[in-house]
């Protein structure tokens, strides 16, 4: 597989592990570590898949997702949401805001790879 992934995740070690496994799988990975400036990063990187954490400093992932869906130029980017809150309400909120997939933390690396591959191929 190949393509471009933008990872928005503020936990540096989590971001490092995700970048590693995606890069090893052939993906070009860019990352951004906070909610502020996330939309600008998305416009700049123009990813094939966005991996978005929900709990971010500055702006929540949910707010970013809603703004993404409101922008016609960005609305088509498939989004994989990661969240430490795996409860039903959080999942429903993310999917209601337009997330294509939702994975609760902690996750299996294979789940991340499978989701990104499927979303890029969709």
Partner 1 sequence: MARSALTGTRVRERRQRIGLKQADLARAVGVSPAYLNLIEHNRRRVGADLLASLAEALGVGEAALAEGADSALFEGLREAAAGAAGAEAGAAESAPETDRIEEFVGRFPGWAALLAERQARIGALERAVAALSERMAHDPHLSAALHEVVSAVTSIRSTAAILAESEDVDPEWRARFHRNVYEDSIRLSDAADALTAYLDASPGNETGLSSPQEEVETWLARSGYHIAGLERPHPTPPAALVAGVPELASDAARKLALAHLARYRADAEALPLHGFLRALGETGPDPAALAERFGAGLAPVFRRLATLPEGAGPPVGLVVCDASGTLTFRRPAPGFAPPRHGAACPLWPLYAALARPMVPIRTAVEMAGRVPVRFLTYAYAETRFPGGFDGPQVTEALMLVLPAQGPRSGAERVVGAACRICPRAGCVARREPSIVGAGD
Judged by CB under 8 A, the stretch of 17-25, 38-46, 59-67, 88-96 that binds partner 1 is 17-25
109 is an interface residue for partner 1 by CB under 8 A: yes
Closer by beta carbon to partner 1, 7 or else 77 = 7
88 is an interface residue for partner 1 by CB under 8 A: no
CB count in 10 Å sphere of residue 72: 7
Question: Helical H runs in the chain?
Answer: 12-24, 38-45, 61-70, 88-96, 109-121
Q: Estimate the crossing angle of helix 61-70 against helix 88-96, to 10 degrees.
A: 20
In the list 105, 113, 117, 118, the residue contacting partner 1 (rule: CB under 8 A) is 105
11 is an interface residue for partner 1 by CB under 8 A: yes
Interface residues with partner 1 (CB under 8 A) are 11, 13-14, 16-18, 20-21, 24, 55, 84, 105-109
């Amino acid at each position: 597989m190949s393509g471009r992934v933008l990872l928005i995740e503020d936990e540096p070690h989590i971001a490092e592990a995700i970048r590693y496994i995606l890069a090893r799988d052939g993906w070009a990975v860019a990352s951004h570590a906070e909610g502020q400036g996330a939309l600008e990063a998305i416009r700049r990187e123009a990813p094939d898949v966005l991996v978005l954490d929900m709990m971010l400093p500055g702006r929540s992932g949910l707010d970013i997702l809603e703004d993404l869906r409101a922008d016609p130029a960005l609305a088509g980017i498939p989004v994989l949401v990661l969240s430490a809150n795996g409860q039903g309400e959080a999942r429903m909120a993310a999917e209601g805001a337009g997330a294509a997939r939702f994975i609760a933390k902690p996750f299996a690396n294979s789940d991340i790879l499978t989701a990104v591959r499927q979303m890029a191929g969709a």
